[in-house]
Amino acid sequence: MHEDGCHVFPVRVYYEDTDAAGIVYYANYLKFAERARTEMLRAAGFDHHRLLQEHGMAFAVKRFAADYVAPARLDDALEVHTRVVNLRGASIDAQQDIKRDGRDLARCAVTILCLGPDGRPVRLPAELRDRMRTFLNDR
């Protein structure tokens, strides 16, 4: 879903996502964020397979930082709100906020690097760059 320059991805918390205390295990927020970025890419008209086949490139996470504000629990309906903060030649910076009922549970900042077949940084394809501007947080 796309709301006002923000990609919104729904996530349901399943038993497998929780720890012994019944709350979402911290590392699973990274999985929720990854799924949301993948779906944002699809919403922009691309997917990982197409980028690899047509452009010989793939994404790798260069940096991920998270502030955990409140816990999520079993069966919670969450939303991952993703905004592009910066588009550079070979990378994308994004802010991903994981929410329940509009309240932040985790605030994540991620830098994704575009890599060629040799594992070295390559420029984002122009078409992808243009489409990702839809999610650019220019406020």
Bridge partner residues of 67 (DSSP): 107
CATH for 89: 3.10.129.10
**23-78 confidence digits (pLDDT tens):** 999 999 999 999 999 999 999 888 888 888 888 999 999 999 999 999 999 999 99
Q: Could you tell me which of 112, 18, 99 has the C-alpha nearest to residue 61?
A: 112
Q: Which of 4, 17, 19, 47 is catalytic?
A: 19
The domain in which residue 31 lies consists of 2-135
Q: How many domains does the chain divide into?
A: 1
Rounded Cα gap, residues 88 and 38, in angstroms: 19
pLDDT value for 46: 87
Active site residue 75: no
Query: Which of 11-25, 44-58, 72-86, 102-116 is predicted least confidently?
Result: 44-58
Q: What share of the chain has pLDDT > 70, as a percent?
A: 96
Mean pLDDT in residue range 69-94: 96
Rounded Cα gap, residues 100 and 88, in angstroms: 31
